[in-house]
Chains A and B, each alone.
Chain A
Amino acid sequence: MAEPATTELPARTVPGPRGPAPGAFAARRPSSRVVLGTASAVLLLVFWALGRRLGYGLSEYLQLLVDGTVTGSVYALVAVGFVVVYRVTGVINFAQGAFVMLGPMLAITFFRALGGSGGLALAAAAAAAVLATALVATAVHRLTLHPARAASALTRIIITVGVYIALQGLALRVWGPRPYVMPAFSTLHMADRFLEVGGVTLQAQSLWVWGLGLLTVVGLVVFFEHTLVGKAMRACAVNRTAARLMGIRVDRMATLAFALAGVLGAVGGIVLAPSTRPTYDMGLDLGLKGFVAAIAGGLVSLPGAVAGGLVLGVLESLWAGVTVAGFKDLFAFVMLILLLLARPQGWLEGGHE
């Protein structure tokens, strides 16, 4: 008789039960989306009740929401930087925080070198700073992670920690510990305008944060969806071996991912700079928050990272607005752990990891 053993039927697309995926336990419990929906409804109710007690009206809530999305936009940019690098190289890049710091520091330095006045000079300085940060990021990958690409993920992560420490130390050496000042983009002056719309006030710079943040993310999406290089990078993210077989230079894509992460970090830092006062050590905190946002969004998903950043920013803002701000981070991390436990692969994508 025929040898049926060698006859292969076209495999059906049954997800292979290749050991429990991170969400293996999810099978035994109610749909995680239901849990999330209920939980957020309860949470919002609690926020609303606490706010009522303080005499909050609609404008106060809107204010908190607006505040949250401004900070959240920066978190989102940093988070997207984490995701881009992680997807292509499989590394959590702790040096991302350093890129966030380098952006504004370099921009201020360039701006001063260009005479320290004028919108064109500021734009040029910012662009140059973004470029320079991307170059630094490229160098970081080529000099450290590329040679160590065979090492375990943990080893490579510790390398990025070392890079962060070194870059921050270098920044301390170059710029000293003093805070720097960057003019607001629209007034070109330290004193930024406050706009008032329906009881909600915001700094004019916030519009820039939203606008440039959105532009960057849209640009990134266009890059990934509509350019050859972007598509190649996506291929690497899906399957590195297959991508290599298709003739894609995976290591180059990894370098490019770092450059993109540098761009994202620098843009995030620069748009934030006028409302903060950049110091050499500003990166750690933003890096950590960006990491949280990236994880909350599933670590592999760009929309997830953006959503993660915005949600984190808004939740923090709401929490600090109605309860005790000192526990803001505690709240954020408790939420994060619960989120991870409920659905580790993130909330937006059907989850492969």
Chain B
Amino acid sequence: MSQDSLLRVERVTKAFDGLVALSEVSLEVRPGQIKGLIGPNGAGKTTLFNLIACCLAPTAGDIVFCGRSLVGLPPHRAAELGIARTFQNVQVFPGMTVLEHVLVGLHRQAQAGLVACALQTVRLRRTERRLREEAEALLDRLGLLPWAEVPVETLPFGLLRRVELARALAVRPKLLLLDEPGSGLNPTEKQAMSQLVRGLRDEGITVFLVEHDMTMVMGLADEVAVLDHGALLCEGPPHLVQRDPRVVAAYLGEGDDA
């Protein structure tokens, strides 16, 4: 494997009470690329994301990010190391505004302990002001500024995906995990989302995404990996993967000709 990979998944197996969700999956994500992960429902895509984000621990195998193993780390450590994510079924904080979502994302930068927070130290207030500016800049970039002070539960779904993205970006990630960024969006919104993701890549953020919409993922990804029944089927540039008979079989059911 090349030295320059950002993320390396090495022979990872994950079992839940004996049911194997992933078996011996190995793949890598190189810095600066957009990598897609596809596969039928239940193939283990989200499980893999949860493993990378340290929400789950692998039963066997290793996951290496920037040269250090992620196995056994709590999820917030993964974020601190530079892995941010969005969720398949949007996970927002009810009752909080869009701006606050981003500020939570900037949490790590506040460097504020509970005591400092309770006493509202001068330094904390200065930091807070700086963070607020930074958050607004980020919202501006994602076109969310008009909704900055709006509680999220009043927003349409399409915007929520973007709020999640903004929150993830606030972590200043090296690697961004997007779990079905296009689902629930209309074609226009999907376009915009693709545009956004490409922009991020151009800024140097590596993107690893799960996506069901083949058009979107094939148009977006530099490289695609295919999971089926918990195993890696194939990996490669989109146009090659698309033609791989195993992939076609997995999607259309075995015995069918594509």
- The reply, when asked whether chain A contacts chain B directly with Cβ atoms under 8 A, is yes
Chain A 40-60: CB-based contact to B (< 8 A → 1; otherwise 0): 000000000000000000000
User: Which of B19, B40, B57 is the one whose CB lies under 8 Å from A28?
Assistant: B57
A residues near B40, Cβ cutoff 8 Å = 7-9
Give CA–CA (A5, B212) in the complex, Å.
Answer: 5
Instruction: Count CB-based A-B contacts (< 8 Å).
Output: 57
User: Which of B42, B212, B258 is the one whose CB lies under 8 Å from A14?
Assistant: B42
User: Which of B17, B47, B229 is the one whose CB lies under 8 Å from A17?
Assistant: B47
Chain B 207-219: CB-based contact to A (< 8 A → 1; otherwise 0): 0000011110000
Residue of A nearest to B48 (CB): A17
The reply on B137 being an interface residue by CB < 8 A is: no
B69 to chain A, nearest CB (A): 15
The reply on B109 being an interface residue by CB < 8 A is: no
Establish whether residues B57 and A27, one from each chain, have CB atoms under 8 Å apart when the complex forms: yes
User: Which of chain A's residues 1-52 have a Cβ closer than 8 Å to chain B?
Assistant: 1-5, 7-9, 11-17, 19-20, 27-28
A residues near B215, Cβ cutoff 8 Å = 5
The reply on A350 being an interface residue by CB < 8 A is: yes
Establish whether residues A12 and B17, one from each chain, have CB atoms under 8 Å apart when the complex forms: no
The reply on B93 being an interface residue by CB < 8 A is: no
Give CA–CA (A27, B230) in the complex, Å.
Answer: 19
Give CA–CA (A7, B21) in the complex, Å.
Answer: 20
Establish whether residues B214 and A20, one from each chain, have CB atoms under 8 Å apart when the complex forms: no
Establish whether residues A28 and B41, one from each chain, have CB atoms under 8 Å apart when the complex forms: no
Establish whether residues B242 and A17, one from each chain, have CB atoms under 8 Å apart when the complex forms: no
Residue from A8, A15, A27 having most chain B Cβ neighbours under 10 A: A27
Give CA–CA (A3, B50) in the complex, Å.
Answer: 27
B155 to chain A, nearest CB (A): 22
Establish whether residues A9 and B42, one from each chain, have CB atoms under 8 Å apart when the complex forms: yes
A106 to chain B, nearest CB (A): 45
Establish whether residues A17 and B252, one from each chain, have CB atoms under 8 Å apart when the complex forms: no
User: Which of B41, B44, B57, B258 is the one whose CB lies under 8 Å from A2?
Assistant: B258
B residues near A1, Cβ cutoff 8 Å = 242, 258
A4 to chain B, nearest CB (A): 4
Residue from A2, A17, A27 having most chain B Cβ neighbours under 10 A: A17
B residues near A12, Cβ cutoff 8 Å = 42, 229
Residue of B nearest to A6 (CB): B212
A residues near B16, Cβ cutoff 8 Å = 14-15, 17
User: Which of B17, B250, B251 is the one whose CB lies under 8 Å from A15?
Assistant: B17
The reply on B95 being an interface residue by CB < 8 A is: no
Give CA–CA (A14, B250) in the complex, Å.
Answer: 17
A residues near B251, Cβ cutoff 8 Å = 2, 4, 7, 9
The reply on B5 being an interface residue by CB < 8 A is: no
The reply on B253 being an interface residue by CB < 8 A is: yes
User: Which of chain B's residues 37-79 have a Cβ closer than 8 Å to chain A?
Assistant: 40-42, 44, 46-47, 50, 55-57, 72
Given contacts A1-B242, A8-B40, contact A14 B21 (CB under 8 A): yes
Establish whether residues B214 and A11, one from each chain, have CB atoms under 8 Å apart when the complex forms: no
* Residues in B lying within 8 Å of A, measured CB to CB: 16-17, 19, 21, 40-42, 44, 46-47, 50, 55-57, 72, 212-215, 229-230, 242, 248, 250-253, 258
Excluding A2-B252, A9-B40, A20-B56, 17 further A-B contacts by CB distance (< 8 Å) are A1-B242, A2-B258, A3-B214, A5-B214, A7-B252, A8-B40, A8-B41, A9-B41, A11-B42, A12-B42, A13-B19, A14-B16, A14-B47, A15-B21, A17-B16, A17-B47, A27-B56
* Residues in A lying within 8 Å of B, measured CB to CB: 1-5, 7-9, 11-17, 19-20, 27-28, 350
A-B CB proximity, top 5 nearest: A4-B251, A9-B40, A11-B42, A12-B42, A15-B16
